[in-house]
Every structure is written in structure tokens, then in C-alpha cells.
Structure 1
Amino acid sequence: MSGFGALRDRLTDAAAAFAGGPGQVADILTGMVDDVDRALRENLEIFPVCHHSPASALAMARRLREKRPKVVYLELCEDLRPLLDELANCRLPVALQAFATDLDGFPAGAGPLSVVAPITESSAEYQAIAYALTEPGVELVLVDRSSDHVFQWMPKDGPGTAGGDGDTGHATADPAGEDAGLHGDAVGVEIGDLRPRFAELEAYLLHHGKVRHWSEWWDQYVEQPLADADYATYRQVMVMIGSLFRRLRPAGADRLDRDEDRERYMWTRMREHLASSGADPADCLYVCGAFHAASRVEEFGLRGSGGFEITPRTATRWSYGLIPSSHSAIEAQFSLAPGSVSIAAATWRKALRRGGVTPYTLDGKKGRKGGAGRAAPEAGVTDRLSGFLARPPEPGGLDEDELRSWCVDIVRLARRHGYLASTADAIAVFETSVLLAGMRGRARPTPYDFQDAAVTCIEKDAVPGKRDVARLCEILLGGDRIGQVGYESLPPLARDVYDRLEPLGLDPGRRTVQRALLNLDAEPHLAPCSKVLWMLRYLLPDGAVRPIMGSKRLGERSIQESWDVALGKYQRELIELGYEGVTVEQVLEQRLRRAAWDPKATAAGALAAVEDSIVFLGGRRFTDELGARAVELLSAERTVDDAPEVLRRMRRLLAYYRASEPALPAWCEAFVTTGYAHYCTLLPSAFTDEDTGVRQVGAMLGFLFGMESLALSLGCDRAQLELAVRQSHPERPAKVALLWAAQSQLGLIGRDDLRRRWDELLVNPLVVPSCPQYIGGFVQALELAPALTSFVVEVISKAFARLPDPVLLPWLPTLITTLREQAGDLVPALVKEAARTYPADLAGLDAWTPPWEAAPGRAPATAAPAASGPVADLLRAHPASCDALAALLGCDPAWPDAPDAPGAPGAAGGGSPGHGEAAALLGRHPAAAEALAGLLAR
């Protein structure tokens, strides 16, 4: 007969008395006893645990020294096994991580995928791992589903969604933890998620337990009573709790199916290993969460059915490594109360100080060999639950010394952080802690009682610093310990970064910000360090490396640089870079290539990749490959949304190549010719398309006119541009102004025509409200014709001078908004031109005449004398250049008579009389003509 018969009868009677007869309550209670009986009678010893539980860790350390198993089966993703050997090089807590960016078999856009399994010193799995890795002849086998299966079994809405796995959680921002984001958005895997999955049950337990959150309830009613319990009692209680939560969870959820699939998976793997290795089940230990120890699937046990089929993994390539973790990161990952993991660590250290248990560690210090040899199997299952459930908690005496030290230390810590705390506050915290413990039915104050008392007595009205009293209590009771991955366990990329930055004398293990000073002229050997820092600045998040002085742009070289480096704090991100390549150069090249060949890539993005490859990598092969890709993308684009970015980057690249290389690369020439034809083709539709902005059209024209000379030299036809401008018929005022500027640049209309059209707009009351849009278009025209800057200043000046105040004042906000939205980066050129045009002081303003009012075309015909001399003779002999220049400036190209220059135009009555604008212009500016004469004389 089962050893639990008496307990089953008592629970049946209690259920009948409670519910008035046999029913579901009796089935649940007796079913829990059956689950305990079934788990304990299994030939393969099952060790139920709760994650980050000191009681589980203590029981594990005792049982390992007593049983000394030869095989340890551990509930952990089976593909993480190679990482466990590297734990000896780390400072806990750390997390095992599986990471994948190139997905094959998962929905598009689901990546990157990341799985983390945090390990702390106060956890049973760490004791099992340390035992297996330090004891000779012990085999450690991970039996849980792989990282790939974790995401395969996620809900159908795709990987990365919060899930529903019994042992998984997603990292969330936790304001209480300063390092709560160490795990990023990875899916967390833990052993032993012992938490009610029935919300009403958890609320009931918290209410009647007089606690605020689940971590406090667990510590009060399970952790403390089991800390010193014998092994048989520990096993039975843990399986009973797992069975209770399992039987009270809602039925019919996908989560139930995934839990049971995991249990089938693990038992299938264990039977496969036993069959292949020939190990004796009596020499094995199965470490799993108490929730899974109470499993009722058909595959449970060595005698269970073996019909479960494990699906194959996808073709996704996974990378593995260790990343730093912290107590706050674990709490945020698995929705634990802030400070609960720190309190568990403090409880673990306190239990070790009490003596009686020697833990296993991976720092080379093995525990004592006492108790060697396999423990004899139990003759039968003895009921320990009855005594545990019937026995009231043993009254523990108040440890006044411990509580007093907490109170003194919290006051000292609070004063250090700006609180006005005193000895009276320490006394108040002491008394309040005892009072709260009594009100909550506790024999002695727990750390949670102390924390509540400290918040009540010290935190008055406001928090003077960035940490509140609750956070200070967490620091006092153990602190947010942050792990670190050792150099030997880092991926090759991280080790390479540390080696290359070694000349700077930085400590890569420090989590604080370190300052690095580089004098690249005096210490040229630090140039490689500067290169690595700039690449890390590009690849890592903001804050990992931050330049204080120095820059890295096309054609620039810093003489001195100053950096703030915090690689110790961002070790996780650096490690994840190591999953993508062996060196930072390789990772950078892969990212640039991925960006350029992305299905949504644009020509502007490809040009950005070209620029980054020149700045960070150098070399022509990869840059030319990216440039060819930019040409391909530009020819395939059907919109001009990125035209401003294309123009800006292409101008910069052309200036760089012209200054640094003898000839332009082939891809640059192809980009200019392709862009010239492409934008000419799209120009008429862009002028009329309502979705295409003025800035985009201005950038197109800036590309066409700014690179026209290069495009024509490469074989393009200017007639294509003229035809595109003639076919453009915009309706929006800003685009009309752009078209006028383009026509002026092509010589289709003159400067006087532009002035006349603007003057007509200012006197037309129906058009005046649209004048700001016209001005915005003229400002955008500076992209294609910088020489129009003075004309745009004239346009704006005339508007301010001629419009009456009732029209001008309501018109100003629209003008300012238009200029800010459409031409923010072009306005400085206008301001500079206006400063050059207007008088510098008020005294000169009264006598000042606007240049456009005193234009050469308005001066009298006798304003300038006829020019004479060899320069004038040369210009009269070749008048075409002067005529074109005069027409461009809006002057009448008429020549004065020069009777003393035979054979020249106008000599001996052969010249036509005129105003002499060209002669007057040359008379005012003789240097240009003399330079031209000297050039021709050579």
C-alpha cells in the first residue's frame, strides 16, 4: 500500500467537510498526493527545484554529496551544453544565450531571435552544473528542447511574442533596476517557474498571507520552512506545490500543450541517452522544475510510452555565447519583485555562514569529498507531507544584531544619498519592522518587512536623488550584483577588440565610463585604436563609446581625439557582435552589404553605405561594389522622395574623389549619367505630382544643373534637360517659382523677366496670399542656381517694402513656416547675402539705394566712357563672350563707338550705337579682362 494512504484519507475527509461531499476539491487534493507518490516512486530520481531558490540550492548541494550521481539530466536547452564549460571563466550572474539573425524557417521580419538562460550562485542548477564539471567521470546532459524549438513552439503570431511558455519570460523595462535591460528583448528560459497560473489563486494567497507580491509569499511560506528540511520532506513538498499549481491552471490553453510537449521531449531524450550510454538509472539524477516533476503525460518515467516524435530544427544558423546578467535583469525578465533575487542571494550566503553545507563552485575550489559513495536507495516512500503540513512553523527568535545592523546601515546609506535621516530614524525602522512582522503573523521580521519599515520611516515627501529608499534597501541586502564574462569565454571578436584597445590602457572589466585621450600626431601607433573606436561607435548602441573630441568624415583626419569608453557596461552588445563575425571590420562589411541589398534599399541608402565603407573600411573593391549597387537602385526607382539625400551625398562623394584621386571611379560616372537621364525623365511628372514636394523637385534640378558639366562630358545630351523643362507645367506656386528659376538657368528667360514676373505678383491682390510659396520655391532654386541668391534677397526685400501692413503682418507667419519647412538649410546663404547687401549701420540706411534699383540697365547711356587699349581691342575682336556675359547679367549687349580701333566692331561707323553696358562693366572690373588677355597672349 502507498505510504500516502493515511494522508489521502485525511484530505478526502477534509474536502468532504469543506464542500459538503466528495467532488472536485477532493479530486484535486487526492490527485496532488497521487502526483507526489508517482514522482517519488520513479526509478530515475527526480529532483524538483524552483529557480533562484536558496532552499533548492541547499538541498541540491546536500543531495549531490550524498548520492554522487554519475549522470545529471538538467532541464535546459540541449544546444546550450557547450557553453557550460565556460562558466568557470565568468563572474556570476551570467546568462547562456542563443542568438540568430539570419532566419530560415521562421516568418520574415521575426528576427533577431534570442534566448537567454540566467545562472546565479544561489540556484540549484548552478550546483548541479558545478558538480558535474568539477567531479571526474560525471556526465551532464541537457534534455530540454533546443533554442530553435523554443520559437517553433511559440504562438502562431510569430517568434518574439510573449508567450505562454511555462518557463519563459520576456525582458521588460524595470525602473527599479538600473541594469534591467541586460537581457535585451530575449526570451528567458528558467528551471522551475513555480508561480500560480491561476490569477484568482495567487490573489487569494497574497491576501491571506498578508504580503504584497508572490516573491514575498514564497520566501515566507516555502523558502524559509524548507531551508533546513531533510531531503525527503523537501522533495515531497516541492512536488506537491508543483502539482497544486498544475491542477489549478486554466484548461484548454496553448500553454498547457507546450508544457506537456516539453515534458514529452525531456523524457524522450533521457530514455534515448540511457539506451545509448547504458547508464544505470540508479546512478542518474533528473533536475527539473517542480511543475514538471508532477507531470501526468503518458511519456512520464522510464516505463512511459515512447511515441513522441521530436520535430527537426529549422535551417536557422544559431550562435551561442555568454552574456553578463544581473539580479535586476533576472527580476525584470521573469516578472519577479524588485530585490527578490538579491534577497535570495543574501539568504544563500547567510545559510552558508551557518555551516553544514559546502557548495560546489567552478573557480577551481572543489568541495569536500565527505560522504563519497552512492547513497543507498530508499526501501519505500515514507510520508513526510503529513508532518510538514500539520506542524506549525517553528518560532524563530528575533536576530536583533542582524536587524540592528540593517537599520544602522540603511540610515547611513540614506544620508549618503541625500536623505535627512538620523539615529531616531534607525530606531523607528527597527521598531516598525518588528511591528509589521507581528501584524503579518511572522515570528521575526523578514527583509521585506524591513524594506517596508524603511520606506515608511525614512522616505518622507520626495526622493532627493535618483534612488529611492526601496532601491537602497535592495543595495543594502545584497545589491544588484552584475556578472561579467571572462576574457577566455568571450567570442573572437570581443577578444580582438580588447587586444586592439590594449595600448589605451583601459580596463575592459570596469562598468564605469573611462576616458581615453589620443594624440595621433605625437603617438601614431594609436591610430589603429582610433579606427576600432570609430567602428564600435557605428556598431554599438549610444553610450558604449562616445567621442568627446574628434570627428570621422570623408576626407577628414583628427589630430587629437578624446573618448568616453564604457565597454564593460555594454559587454552584452559587444558579445552579440561576435555572433555576426570574427572582427569588427567583417561585421561592418556584412551590415553595409545587408543594408545595400535589402529589398527595401534605396539609392540614398546605398550611397550612405558607400560613404561609410570609405570612412571606416577603405579599399576600392567593396566600395565599388556598393557604388554599382547604388546605380542599380537609382535606375529602378520610380519616385524622387530621396532626391535631396542623393544630391547631398553625391556632391560630397564627388568632392572627395576629386580631391583625393586622379580620376573618378567608374561607378561615380555611371551614377551621374544614370541620374541625369533618370531625373530628366521624371522631372515633368514630379512638377505636376501633388505627392512630390518642392524640396524633392529642387533637389532633382540641383542634381541636373549642378552635375551638368560632368554629365555632358560623359556623353549626356543637354537637349534632354531643356525638353524636360519645356514639358513641365506645374500649378503649385512654389513649383512655378522653381520652373522659372530653371528656365532662367537654361537661358530661356532673363533676369529682367524674373523681376517683372515677381513685380506683377506683388500688385495682384489675388496672388499675394501665395507669395510665401513662391518665395519658398525661389529659395529652393538655390540648389540649382546659387547665383540667384542676390535675386532671392531682392524678391523678399521687395515684398517687405511694397506690401501694406494689413497684408504683410498676416502674411509673415506663413512665410516663416514655409521657409522653415521647405528651405531650412538654404536660409543661411540668404542671410549672408542680405548682410553683404544691406548697410552695416543705421547711419548708412537713409542714403542707401538697393542694388536692384540702381541696376546697370537703369543707368543713363553716358554713364561710362568708351573703353580703349589692347584689352578693349581684343574684346571687340571677339565680342561673343562679352555679349553672353552681358545677357546673363541682364544687360543690353550694345558696343560703343571706337574710331581709333580700325577693324573693330563700331570702328569707322561699323559699330552699332548703344548704352555701353559691357564697356561700363569692364571699366569697373578690369582684372577679369586683363587675366583673360594674359591667358590668350600665352
Structure 2
Amino acid sequence: MDTDIDTDMDTALTTGPGGGPVGGGAFAALRAQLLDAAKAFTGEPDALAGILTGIVDDVDRALAERLEIFPVCHHSPASALAMARRLREKRPEVIYLELCEDMRPLLDELRNCRLPVALQAFAAEIDGFPAEWAPLSVVAPITEASAEYQAIAYALETPGVELVLVDRSADHVFQWEPRRPAAGPGAEAPDEEAALHGDAVGVEIGDLRPRFADLEAHLLRHGRVRHWSEWWDQYVEQPLSGADYATYRQVMIMIGSLFRRLRPDDTERLRVDEDRERYMWTRIREHLAATGADPERCMYVCGAFHAASRVEQFGLDSDAPPFAIPPRTGTRWLYGLIPSSHSAIEAQFGLAPGSVSIAAATFAKAVRRTRVTPFRLRGGKDGTDGTDGAAAKGGGRGRAARRTAAPAPAASEPVTDRLSGFLTGPPALDPLDEAELRDWCVEIVRLARRNGYQASTADAIAVFETSILLAGLRDRARPTPYDFQDAAVTCIEKDTVPGRRDIRRLCEIMLGGDRAGQVGYDALPPLARDVHDRLAPLGLDLQKRTIQRALLDLRADPHLEPCSRLLWMLRYLLPDRAIRPIMGELRLGERSIQESWDLDIGRNQRAIIELGYEGVTVEQVLERRLRRAVHDPKATAATALAAVEDALVFLGSRRLADELGARAVELLAAERTVDHAPEVLRRIRRLLAHHRSTGPELPAWCQAFVATGYAHYCTLLPTAFADDAANVRQVAAMLSFLVTLENLAISLGCDRAQLEIAVRQARPEGAAKTALLWAARTQLGLLPREELRARCDELLGNPLTVPSVPEYVSGFVQALDLAPGLTPFVVELLSKAFARLPDAVLLPWLPRLIATLRAQAAELVPLLVREAGRTFPADLAALDAWTPPWAAARAARPARASAPAAPASGPVPGLLAGHPAATDAVARLLGCGTGWRAVPAGGGPATHPALAGLLAAHPATAEAVASLVA
């Protein structure tokens, strides 16, 4: 029994055409028949009978409405053909279209574009939505093989016809629905073309697909197809492409009602759908009341799902109050056209790859077969010169019809039941078109050979026969493009794909390909047009969808300098694939004289168009982005310094740089961590060097930044040494800022005592930070070099501390930025380690040392290499007799210590006694007072022990001074 009912349901949904409009009691027989079937299946007519008869009631209700409802499915060739026929027959004066009402001004620009394109509403700065949603984007793709394009073209090209968009605004789209993923379930990952819509929310007319997964799986299984697009093409598109308007209308409403009733109980989505329907009917009533239009001369174009609506506001004769439309948020929306493509539409709406291309090919074929004249916009980028491409062949009949007023519509025909005939009649099987199939087979073999396949005439014959076989297995007399694709893959594609494209992709290309649209120059926003105008001296066609090479010799052609500047700004603002520099660079204080660029602007129109939503010129957009970056809640001082540098490099604006620099001072003073200290140090050094080389004095913000940073980092230094979250590289950057910029900071009023106090208060625990502190204290004169050497010798001599020597070395290497004079000492330390440590200790120790230096101090290791090159002998022969300089100095120190003391008599005591002021100052530093003046009458040596020790320890200095004054 279950199998029989499944077959009956399939037959009801997949049989061929026959029948017409319904209304009143025209469906009595069909309703009774469905009730009897429900009783036979379930034993009682409640559940199933309610669904089946409810479908008939929905059809009856929609067709009885005074305002003609035209149900459509998105990108459906059958809907486009039926729309073209109906528009020529009825010639309506008002068309209500299910599309975001705030996108209406964009429709007039479609004639300047090559389809497919998408209408876009964009908001970069939001008000009333969560901040993480920004930017907001809503797109509505338009293809030529769609009913909405036929309605738009007819309305825009026919005098006296008004087109009214009645669906919710872009603002309400985000108010009513949470953000959803761009691709539907089961969709493949989009390629570069599929990314044309980005993460925008898509809206289309007629999203007609089962929202009940079990129902869709049932239809696919019993229809012997792989995906929904193929099922729809076989069981809806093909039967309805040749059906009359009455049959088309009834069947589409029936399918919309079926999918509406057999959907899961999703309260949120049901509420959104019903609110949209209330919204649209409210807008229709408001327009009719305001204009006094005759409903008989109007048409309402909506998705078949909404045509079967059951909301209380449905229909012009409803007594329900108007729907209370909520107000829009404070978000400022911007509108424009962006290029689209078949693959982008498929990826965004979860359609099978190639389905939109096949629909376009099916529409073109149906137009030729049925001789229906579609409407087209005049003056479009597709090369047409009017709304009516085929009309030109018939002596301009279409154009004349557009210039005359539409005739009064004929009286409505009586409603008859044609749905029963469609559901119970046998399918109309198209005969085999051998010529068409043979052309397909020859063409696919030719494409396969061009793409590396070893295909031959035998493969063409095999594809031909296999296509017929597959169609027969699937109850089709005529192979569809999907049957042909499967046959080609089976017969031609072997174990591997020799090129970039497989056979399925080649079939899509052959049947129409992934057509990509383009927005014409006149439809571009002012910024995009300005970009085209300013890059015109390059002599390139920026509308081409190919990569073009631009060569700029700025010395020979200085007039190309503005083009170069603009390209660098676009490089900063646009994705990498749009603008790529091959040769040349632009940095602070540096500029190339020759540049080479790869420009792919034609395929990245969307990015440039969205720049136009942010400003009128590229400079304005860049300035706004820099300001927005530094005022972002997550902005840091490093972010602000980067913005200052970008303002100077790209805009050359000292005013903007000063403004951003002042913000950098505020951000630095507010920071409580040292995470970004290395980047802050690198950027402020570069900016200081630039300003010193280009101006007489530093900007005020630079001086304030150095002074603030000095005091700020002195305050954070003890905490950073003790904080495990602050690594040695960050602490070293702080110390480098304090030490290397100390002279400038002191000249600006800072106190060196702050730094000394901070260093004395530091209590590090890690080995690397300890070595860094030792180096800083040595640089500041708080730790003698001999004591530092003694501490490091103790590390190498203690077996317990040997494993941590790599961390100590890393700390010393990090300190080379603030104390470059320690470079010979670090080379000495490493040399001692290699000389003293046994192999059992050294060999496991070396990998760790290398890894530590590479991870923490890679850019400073070259300093050690250069110093080692100066220290060690240049050839192997000299190595045996070589004595390390630190060993020679140690050997010389005891000899100097045992040298005789200062002579008992001579000019030195007299010099000290004759000029006591300098010696008094030194004595006060040493804490000796003035006791050194007690000199024997005979001119003997000084009796003060400190002075005697000083002269004895450094006799060379005293002798040199004595020789000068002798």
C-alpha cells in the first residue's frame, strides 16, 4: 500500500500539462476525489485529507482574488516564458513586485549593466544591530532567464507602466531574520567567482524548495535524480515550459501550497514568512488607495510559496486591519549594483553547480522553440538595443507596442479546473532531438581533447548512446543536460583529471558556462567612475575580466605619478587579487622610479563599488578608515602609529598624521600591558627618523609620545619583569625605548632617575629576563663589566645552571638592541661555553640554544655573526696560535695590579694639589671627602688610602696626564 501511495504522490507531482484557472465550485470534483483517496489511505479523512483539500482551497483562494497574482520560482525559465506571454497579453499598468522596496531606484540602472548583476543594500556603520554584524549587506541577483527581469524590463520600457516594489526593506531583513550562512545545505565550497556576493544575505523572488527534508528526499529518490535542481527541471520546468498561462498558474500555486503545508513546525520562520506577506499586502493596499489604480489593470508578482498565503491581510477584500510595519533602525543604508555570476547565485542559494547556467540555456532554447518575444532593457551592456530583441526581426512590432497605450483588458474568462487534468494526465514526453544531442557529444569531445583528455570519436558515440540509455532508465524519452553530463563523465573521464577542469565542469561550460555580469560605467558609484578616469592614462581597459599588466616609468613619464599613488591606495584598500604590485615599493621616505602592476579590476568590481559606499574619492575612504581604525575600541598605540605612517605614505597629509599621532599618545598612556611594545618601538623609531630628515623639528605629537612613553614604560617596567605573561622580547623593547630614546626624553623634561629606580626595583625570575636586567644595569653603569663577567663564569661552572644558559644567552642577545656594546661580551660568553662544556653537556644543549635564538632573537643574531667574524682568525692555520682577547686582557690585569705605585715624587701630586676642584668632585662620588689633600711635605705620595689605591690601580692614566703637564 505504501508503494502505491508513493507512486500516486509522484504521479500527482510529476505528470504533464493540461487544464486552466480555477475558482468558485470548479474544484468540487477534485476536492471530492482527494477526500476519497485520503479515506482509502488512512481510514479517516482528518490529517491527510486536510492537507490535500487545503491545497485545492489555496489554489481556489489565490485565483479568486481580484488582483491577479502571478506565482514564480526564482531563475525559472518556465516562469520567465509565462511572464513574457502574460505581459504581452494583459499589458498591465501597475506591477507589484516581491523585492525590497528600498531598492527601487536601482532598477533604472540595469540597462547600463550586463546580466547577471545583483541589487545591493550596504551598511558599513550600523545603528540598532549588534556591532559584530557589521558590515551589513543584502543582495538580490537578477538574471535574464527570470520572471522578475521580464517584469522589470516591461515596466521600465513601456510608457505609463508603474513598477512598485512591495517586499520588506533591507533594514527589516536584518530586523526579522538572524544572519544565515551564504551557502545552503549541501552546496559545494564556492570558488573565486562564487565569492562575488561575499557574506551578503540573499533575497530572491520565489524560493520554492521543500522545507521538509523527508519530502525532498522522497521526491529525489522516486524521481531517480541526484539533486533538487534536476528534479525541478524534469518534473516542473519541462512540463510547464509549453503549458498555457492558466495551467502554469494553477500548478505553481499548488506546488507552493504543498511545500507550505508540508513544512516543519518552525515557529520563527513561519512568523517571518507570514509577516512578509502581511507587509506586501499592506503596501499594495496603500498604493491602490493612494493612486486609485484599477486592480483589473494591475499584477502582483510573488513567489509561489507566498501566492498560497493564508494570512488575514490576504486579498483586496480582506477586512483585517493593515499590518503594523515596524520602523527602521538608525542604520544608514547605501545602494548600488554589483556584478554577479551563475556560480555565485548557486553557491548563495544552495543550488546544484551548473543549474543556473542550464536554466539560462533552457530559456534561450525555449524562446527559439516557442517564438516567445522576451522583454529586454534598451541600451544594455549585453548589446541589445531595446526591450524586444526578437521584435526587431519582425519589423519593430514590439517597439510600436511600447509607444502606444495598453488596450483595456478583456473580461475575465470563467474559471475552469485544469489542475485535475495536469495531475492525472500522462506526461508529455519530448521526442529525441538527435541533432542537438549529436552536437553536444561532438562539442564535449572537442573540449575534452583541448583540456588534455585522450578522447576520440568512439567516446562521442559512447556518450550519445549512454545519454539515451540513462534517459530511458529515468523515464525520459529525450536526454536532459543532466543525463548528458552523467554520460560524458562515465564515458570520457577516466582515473585522473589531466587539467584544471573535469568533465562535469566542461559540460557546464559547453551548455552556457558560468556567465558573469558586469556593471556599466554609467551605473557605477562616483568613486568607481573616478578610479576609471584617473587610471585612464595607463591606456588599459579596466572593464575587461582579465589580468592586465601596467608598466610605469616614473622618471620618463612623470605624469603617471598620480596613477601610481592611486594604485598604491587601491592596493591598501582592495583585496590582494584586485591590485598586485610586481615591481616597486612605496615606504616611508622611499619611492620607486619604476613600477609594474597586475590589475584585475574587471573581476573585482564589487570591491570597488563597495568602496563607493564609503566616500566619493579613494582619499576620502582611506582617511575615514584610518580615523575609524584609531578610534576603534580595540585600537592600540601600535595601531595608531601604523595609521600615522599610512597617512604620511599614501596621503602625504601632515594634518591627518598629527591628528592620528595625538590619538596614539592617548592610547599609549591608557595601555596597561606591554604586548605591543616591540611594534611601538619599531614604528616610533621609523617615524622619528623620517621627521628628523624632513623637517627642522619634531612634531608636537612625537615629542609628547616620547615623553609619555618614557614615563609610562618606566612605571610598567618592574611589573613587566615579574609578569610571566610579558615575554623577554616585549620587556627588551621597553628597555630599548627607554635607553635609546633617553636623550630625547630628558631634553623634553623627563628624569633619568625614573629609569634607574625602575631598574633597581625589577625582580625577574626567568633566566632570559635576568640576563636582560643584567645587561640593562651594565648599560646604565649600575653593574661593572667585570662583575657581569664573573656572574656568567659562575653560570658556566655550575652544573645546575648550565641547562638554562641558552635562556641567558637569549636575554643577552635581546639586550643588544639597547646595549650594542655588549656584542663582544656575548661572543665571549658563547665561546667560553663551547670551550669549557663537555660534549655530553654541549651536544644536547646546542639544539635548544639554536631554537631559542631563532624564536626570540632571529633579527639580532647577525650582529653576533659579524662580531665573531671580527674576533676570530680568518684562517684555520692562525687558530692554533690565536689567543682570545678576553684571555689576553685577563693575563695583563695581574701584571698591572702588581706594578709599582705612583712615584714618590714628581708632577702628579703637585698637579692634584694645584687643581683640587676636579679631584674633589671625583672624591665626593667615591665617598672619600677631602682627606686626599694630606700630602707629605716632601711631595710624596698621597696618604689617603682611596687615592693611593686609585693611582696604583691606574698608573697609565696618571703617567699620561703627567706627561702632558710636564
Q: Distance in 2 between matches of 1:879 and 1:161?
A: 86
Matches within 5 A, 1:729-740: 729-740=763-774
Aligned length: 883
1:207-231 C-alpha deviation (Å, 9 max, x unpaired) = 0000000000000000000001110
State the 1:862 CA deviation: 12
Q: Distance in 2 between matches of 1:172 and 1:516?
A: 41
Alpha-carbon spacing, 1:758–1:177, altered in 2? closer, same or farther (3 Å)? closer
| Structure 1 unmatched ranges of 5 or more | 163-167, 865-871, 885-901, 923-928, 930-938
| Aligned partner (choices 680, 684, 689) of residue 650 of structure 1 | 684
SS at match of 2:603: coil
1:720-773 C-alpha deviation (Å, 9 max, x unpaired) = 111111111212111111111111111112222211111111001111111111
| Aligned partner (choices 56, 61, 81) of residue 79 of structure 2 | 56
Q: Distance in 2 between matches of 1:171 and 1:618?
A: 49
1:588-619 C-alpha deviation (Å, 9 max, x unpaired) = 11111111011111111111111111111112
Which structure: greater helix fraction?
A: 2
Match of residue 804 from structure 2: 770
State the 1:712 CA deviation: 1.0
Alpha-carbon spacing, 1:486–1:425, altered in 2? closer, same or farther (3 Å)? same
Contact kept in structure 2, 1:178 and 1:328, CA below 8 Å = no
Contact kept in structure 2, 1:99 and 1:115, CA below 8 Å = yes
| Aligned partner (choices 179, 200, 203) of residue 217 of structure 2 | 203
State the 1:22 CA deviation: 1.6
Q: Which amino acid aligns with 1:496?
A: D
Match of residue 508 from structure 2: 474
| Aligned partner (choices 293, 311, 323) of residue 326 of structure 2 | 311
Match of residue 433 from structure 1: 467
Match of residue 7 from structure 1: 30
1:608-638 C-alpha deviation (Å, 9 max, x unpaired) = 1111111111121110010000001111111
1:267 pairs with 2:281: yes
SS at match of 2:888: coil
1:393 pairs with 2:407: no
Match of residue 553 from structure 2: 519
1:469-509 C-alpha deviation (Å, 9 max, x unpaired) = 11111111110000000000001111111111111112111
Match of residue 77 from structure 1: 100
Q: Which amino acid aligns with 1:10?
A: Q
Moved more, 473-482 or 414-423: 414-423
| Aligned partner (choices 329, 332, 354) of residue 347 of structure 2 | 332
| Aligned partner (choices 531, 534, 538) of residue 504 of structure 1 | 538
Contact kept in structure 2, 1:171 and 1:183, CA below 8 Å = no
Q: Distance in 2 between matches of 1:848 and 1:881?
A: 42
Match of residue 706 from structure 2: 672
1:717 pairs with 2:740: no
Q: Which amino acid aligns with 1:349?
A: A
Match of residue 241 from structure 1: 255
Contact kept in structure 2, 1:172 and 1:332, CA below 8 Å = no
Alpha-carbon spacing, 1:105–1:429, altered in 2? closer, same or farther (3 Å)? same
Q: Distance in 2 between matches of 1:239 and 1:451?
A: 31
Match of residue 365 from structure 1: 386
Contact kept in structure 2, 1:88 and 1:362, CA below 8 Å = yes
Q: Which amino acid aligns with 1:534?
A: W
Contact kept in structure 1, 2:339 and 2:518, CA below 8 Å = yes
1:279 pairs with 2:293: yes
1:854 pairs with 2:891: no
Q: Which amino acid aligns with 1:547?
A: P
1:161 pairs with 2:180: yes
| Aligned partner (choices 194, 203, 206) of residue 189 of structure 1 | 203
Match of residue 897 from structure 1: none
Alpha-carbon spacing, 1:919–1:366, altered in 2? closer, same or farther (3 Å)? farther
Match of residue 556 from structure 1: 590
SS at match of 2:197: coil
Contact kept in structure 2, 1:701 and 1:783, CA below 8 Å = no
1:747-805 C-alpha deviation (Å, 9 max, x unpaired) = 11222221111111100111111111111110111121112112111111111111111
1:577-598 C-alpha deviation (Å, 9 max, x unpaired) = 1111111111111111111011
Q: Distance in 2 between matches of 1:196 and 1:657?
A: 66
Q: Distance in 2 between matches of 1:12 and 1:767?
A: 92
Q: Distance in 2 between matches of 1:672 and 1:301?
A: 72
Q: Distance in 2 between matches of 1:125 and 1:446?
A: 25
Match of residue 358 from structure 2: 343
Alpha-carbon spacing, 1:811–1:921, altered in 2? closer, same or farther (3 Å)? farther
Contact kept in structure 1, 2:459 and 2:492, CA below 8 Å = yes
1:416-448 C-alpha deviation (Å, 9 max, x unpaired) = 111111111111111111110001111110000
Contact kept in structure 2, 1:66 and 1:373, CA below 8 Å = no
SS at match of 2:887: coil
State the 1:911 CA deviation: 11
Match of residue 638 from structure 2: 604
SS at match of 1:833: helix
SS at match of 2:137: strand
State the 1:173 CA deviation: 7.7
| Structure 2 unmatched ranges of 5 or more | 1-23, 379-384, 392-396, 900-907, 922-938, 943-947
Q: Distance in 2 between matches of 1:413 and 1:699?
A: 61
SS at match of 1:844: helix
Contact kept in structure 1, 2:187 and 2:350, CA below 8 Å = no
State the 1:177 CA deviation: 4.8
Contact kept in structure 1, 2:951 and 2:958, CA below 8 Å = no
Moved more, 621-630 or 788-797: 788-797
TM-score for the superposition, normalised by structure 1: 0.91
Match of residue 578 from structure 2: 544
Contact kept in structure 2, 1:631 and 1:671, CA below 8 Å = yes
Q: Distance in 2 between matches of 1:146 and 1:810?
A: 69
TM-score for the superposition, normalised by structure 2: 0.88
Alpha-carbon spacing, 1:880–1:24, altered in 2? closer, same or farther (3 Å)? farther
State the 1:20 CA deviation: 3.0
Moved more, 568-577 or 23-32: 23-32
Match of residue 376 from structure 1: 410
1:212 pairs with 2:233: no
Q: Distance in 2 between matches of 1:504 and 1:850?
A: 63
Contact kept in structure 2, 1:169 and 1:187, CA below 8 Å = no
Contact kept in structure 2, 1:170 and 1:186, CA below 8 Å = no
Match of residue 872 from structure 2: 838
Alpha-carbon spacing, 1:380–1:683, altered in 2? closer, same or farther (3 Å)? same
Q: Percent identity?
A: 73
Q: Distance in 1 between matches of 2:387 and 2:143?
A: 18
Q: Distance in 2 between matches of 1:276 and 1:176?
A: 45
Contact kept in structure 1, 2:759 and 2:777, CA below 8 Å = yes
Q: Distance in 2 between matches of 1:518 and 1:624?
A: 32
Q: Which amino acid aligns with 1:323?
A: I
Match of residue 47 from structure 2: 24
Q: Which amino acid aligns with 2:336?
A: G
1:11-64 C-alpha deviation (Å, 9 max, x unpaired) = 222222233342322211111111111101100000000000000000000100
SS at match of 1:181: helix
1:666-705 C-alpha deviation (Å, 9 max, x unpaired) = 0000000110111111111111111111111100100000
Alpha-carbon spacing, 1:881–1:517, altered in 2? closer, same or farther (3 Å)? farther
Match of residue 111 from structure 1: 134
Moved more, 58-67 or 304-313: 304-313
1:34 pairs with 2:34: no
1:617 pairs with 2:636: no
Match of residue 453 from structure 2: 419
Moved more, 753-762 or 71-80: 753-762
State the 1:840 CA deviation: 2.5
SS at match of 1:569: helix
Contact kept in structure 1, 2:183 and 2:347, CA below 8 Å = no
